Amino acid sequence: MNRRTLLSRVVFSVCAALLGAAFALPLIWFVFAPFNAHADLDLAFPAPPTLVNFARVFANGVAVGALLNSLLQAFGTVLLVAATATLAAYALARTPLRGKHVIEYVLLLFSSVVSGSAAMVPIFLIVNALGLIDTQLAVILVFAGGLLPTAMFILRDFIASIPRGYEESALVAGASPWRAFVDVVVPVLRPGVTIAAVWAFVQVWGGFLIPFVLLRSEQRMPASVEIYSFYSQAGTPIVPLLAAYSALYSLPVIALYWYVNRKYGFRFFGGIKS
Amino acid sequence: MSSLRGANVSSRTGAAFMTPAALLIGLFVVFPFFWIIAVSFSNRSLLGANALHPQFVGLKNYLDLFDPATFWSQGGFGPSLWLTIQFVVLSALCGQVLLGLVLAWISRELSPRAKSLLQGIVMLAWILPDVVVGFAWFAYLDRDAGTLNQLLHGLHIPAADFLIEHPFLTICVFNAWRGAAFSMMLFDAALQSIPPSYLETADVVGASSWQKLRDIVLPLIRGHIVTDLILITMWTFNVFTPFLLTAGGPSFETDILPIYTYRIAFKSFEFGKGAAIGVIVMLINLAFSLVYLRLAQRGLRAGRKT
């Protein structure tokens, strides 16, 4: 290795390290603060590290209630999306439905054109007309509608990769289409449903705008809105509590991404976030 | 033949299987698209007589938005649109796409451990929930104690209250930081599809890293770059997250279109006008989607041929 390549290696490594540091910097404080009983907005190593902030979160009724609301809204949406998307994706992949390609094209188009930030007015008005303002059901239904097209496309690709012979033998043996679907397709489809469900869960769990617009009363707010109203309020937020609460709230998202990444690789997340 | 074999399930059963999803998508995705157009021609508001019996006002909401007398006034539609264009160009095109390309290019030459460390950090910025990164940046940028100002203090640079003094620049940097991971992963996959022999040949003739990038890599991943540009532009155009840092302020300096829409519809409760802005945003989305779908289909067809 001559001097020039050595020099360029060093320059390259320094650049890579600086870039990594620039990305890490905004989060370093957030790594330490949850474990610091006297955390403030300055960067300080907790001495000693403690879990007392987390204990304070669990003793706080509002904080725990908001986490439970997030769970309810996320699980409600996931169940609804998983069930309806699997059925619809099966129909898209396996029936001679007329105009199937048109349906798919229109779905793709609408799902990218109708964004939450553009459509917040009509969505609010529809929910209002249904009498569902300030209900968790409204949050679940609106999220489900928005997430369904993408979930359907993920699942359709999975179904397309299942050999048709599987269901055909069940149908030949006299099973109804519904039985063939439930007993043959659904079990084989588990990885696809897992990925679609994890993706939907993460979207709802982190979602802010929809519950922010559709909900009114504090006892129905999910953790996302609760955290925002804590730190955006005038006056000093209760930093140690909020840091631990945010860490707790981030945990499922990090764990799920880590799990899916390890099990299926990240290619599935490539085009489907947000 | 394959279409006959495809008939595992009759059309009627297929339609029945489609129904629940179709209802949900119809009610909360397709219907809003058409209703927003209707609302944008009315003077609908949240409270008062116009809430129950909105009147047809024709193009009034659109004419108001583009009224030359108020178009450029502070907190108006003009500044918001212009701000959004700058936001997309700076934070998405210059920020995310370029950063993603640099990150993917750098991590190619790193050891596997260093690569997964670098990509892991960038990914973390992308996967954390909106309000958590909002809170983390709120602390990071704090005027007196925040990590950034402590660092600047160490470098003998005077501290600044970035969210007050440079709000627009701050949300641009924030959005570039937040979203670079997607471009990085896309380009990472694209770079891996380039046959190594191409780059090895370039090494033999003594090409520099920049020459390899410019003459070999960029032409080969052009399709990925176009895909990335369109998707990133669309997402940034619709992103609401800067609201969590600045709420559009101070004095409308970060009033990008999604925040402007929210403000008009849910702070001033002018649903008709808010809907008109929504329609314009959706039309711009539609233009981008059509280009994207056209390109994606051409890519599919080209892929099938080879």
Which residue of A lies nearest to B277 if distances are taken between CA atoms?
A118
Q: Are the C-beta atoms of residues B142 and B149 closer than 8 Å to each other?
A: yes
Please list every residue in chain B whose beta carbon sits closer than 8 Å to the beta carbon of residue A42. Answer: 142, 144-147, 150
Please give, rounded to a whole number of angstroms, the shortest distance from the CA of A11 to a CA of chain B.
12
Instruction: Assess whether pLDDT exceeds 80 at residue A271.
Output: no
pLDDT at B47 over 70: no
User: What is this model's ipTM?
Assistant: 0.86
pLDDT given for residue A7 in this prediction: 84
- Provide mean pLDDT across the span B40-63: 79
For chain A, what are the domain ranges? 1-50, 61-269
Average pLDDT score over chain A = 85
Q: Is B127 on the interface with A (CB under 8 A)?
A: yes
- Chain A CB within 8 Å of residue B66 CB: no
Contacts of B272 (CB under 8 A, 6+ apart): B39, B40, B41, B42, B43, B44, B45, B54, B57, B60, B61
- Decide: helix, strand or coil at residue A176: coil
pLDDT band at B9, cuts 50/70/90? low
Cα(A150)–Cα(A147) distance, integer angstroms: 6
> Which residues of chain A does B117 touch, with a Cβ-Cβ cutoff of 8 Å?
20
B68: closest CA of chain A, how far (Å): 24
Q: Residue A113 and residue B286: Cβ atoms within 8 Å?
A: yes
B162-168 long-range Cβ contacts below 8 angstroms, 24+ apart: B163/B245, B163/B246, B163/B250, B164/B250, B167/B246, B167/B249, B167/B250, B167/B253, B167/B254, B168/B83, B168/B86, B168/B87, B168/B253, B168/B254
State the average pLDDT over residues A184-198. Answer: 86
Q: For position B1, what pLDDT does the model report?
A: 33
Reported as a single tens digit per residue, the pLDDT across B91-146 is: 998 999 999 999 998 888 888 888 889 988 998 998 899 999 998 998 898 888 88
**Domain CATH code at residue B114:** 1.10.3720.10
CB B265 within 8 A of CB B274: yes
Count of pairs with CB atoms under 8 A, one residue in A, one in B = 301
Q: What is the pLDDT of residues B168-200, one digit of tens each?
A: 999 999 999 999 998 998 888 888 888 888 888
Query: For residue A176, what pLDDT is reported?
Result: 83
pLDDT confidence of residue A13? 86
Q: Which of B9, B146, B261 sits opposite A117 (nearest CB)?
A: B261
Contacts of A232 (CB under 8 A, 6+ apart): B244, B247
pLDDT grade for B90, boundaries at 50, 70 and 90: very high
Residue A69 CB contacts under 8 Å (≥ 6 apart), including other chains: A136, A220, A221, A222, A223
Q: By the CB < 8 Å criterion, does A94 face chain B?
A: yes
Closest Cα in chain A, distance from residue B285 (Å) = 5
pLDDT band at B48 (very low <50, low <70, confident <90, very high): low
pTM over 0.80: yes
Q: Looking at the domain assignment, is residue B224 inside a domain?
A: yes
B186 is a domain residue: yes
What total number of domains does chain B contain?
Answer: 1
CATH 1.10.3720.10 fits A61-269, yes or no: yes
CB contact under 8 A, B14 and A97: yes
Domain membership flag for residue B93: yes
**What residues of chain A, 50 to 79, have a C-beta less than 8 Å from chain B?**
none
Q: Which domain holds residue B254?
A: 75-269
Question: Which alpha helices (DSSP H) does chain A contain, by range?
Answer: 3-32, 52-59, 61-94, 100-113, 120-129, 136-160, 165-172, 177-180, 186-188, 190-206, 209-214, 223-232, 239-264
In this predicted model, what pLDDT tens digit does every residue of A23-65 receive, in sequence order? Answer: 999 999 888 888 888 777 778 787 788 888 898 889 888 889 9
Q: Which of A29, A20, A245, A117 is nearest to B138 (CA)?
A: A29
* Cis peptide bond upstream of B250, omega within 30: yes
Q: Would you give the DSSP letter of residue B47?
A: S
Q: What is the pLDDT at residue B299?
A: 63
Mutation pick from A113, A216, A256 vs chain B, by most beta carbons of B within 10 Å, is A113
The shortest C-alpha distance from B229 to chain A (Å) reads: 13
The reply to whether residue A254 touches residue B106, judged by beta carbons under 8 angstroms, is no
pLDDT of residue A166: 81
